[in-house]
Amino acid sequence: MVATYAPLLLMFALAGLVVMGFFVAGHFLGPKNPSPAKLMPFESGNESPGARKIRMSVKFYLTAILFVVFDIEAVFLYVWAVRFRALGWVGMVSMVGFLAVLVVGLVYALRKGALEWEK
């Protein structure tokens, strides 16, 4: 087992060494002329807008969760579509059941107002 995974370990160690090496080299070799502008956090050239602790509306999370659910649905649908004939009726029935459960979820989300952005 050790013999099998040794190259992998070696690669990790090498990767770590290279990264550390760059940082150490930069620290010792690079010229340093600090100025207040340089010490500011870099945000794509814009001035930083303030603290990072801002409250996000829960709606964003709700949308994200719904997106993930139906994204996963698509993932399963692709697999099923590729093997449609081989899976036959068993696959058909299972998929319809799966979709039915998701439709229930969608209807629930709709009725509970999860998809209304403004009330």
From the list 90, 109, 111, the residue with the least C-alpha distance to 101 is 109
Does 52 engage in binding with another protein (CB under 8 A)?
Answer: no
Total number of residues binding another protein (CB under 8 A)? 7
Q: At what angle do helices 84-111 and 58-82 cross, to 10 degrees?
A: 160
Compare residues 32 and 111 and give the one whose CB is closer to another protein. Answer: 111
Give the separation between CA 71 and CA 76, rounded to whole angstroms: 9
* DSSP character at residue 48: P
- One residue of 9, 96, 107, 115 binding another protein per CB under 8 A: 107
- One residue of 1, 8, 18, 54 binding another protein per CB under 8 A: 1
Give the separation between CA 71 and CA 94, rounded to whole angstroms: 18
- One residue of 19, 65, 112, 115 binding another protein per CB under 8 A: 112
Does 59 engage in binding with another protein (CB under 8 A)?
Answer: no
Burial class of 49 by CB neighbour count within 10 A (0 to 12, 13 to 18, 19+): exposed
Window contacting another protein (CB under 8 A); options: 10-18, 62-70, 78-86, 101-109: 101-109
Interface ranges with another protein (CB under 8 A): 1, 101, 104, 107-108, 111-112
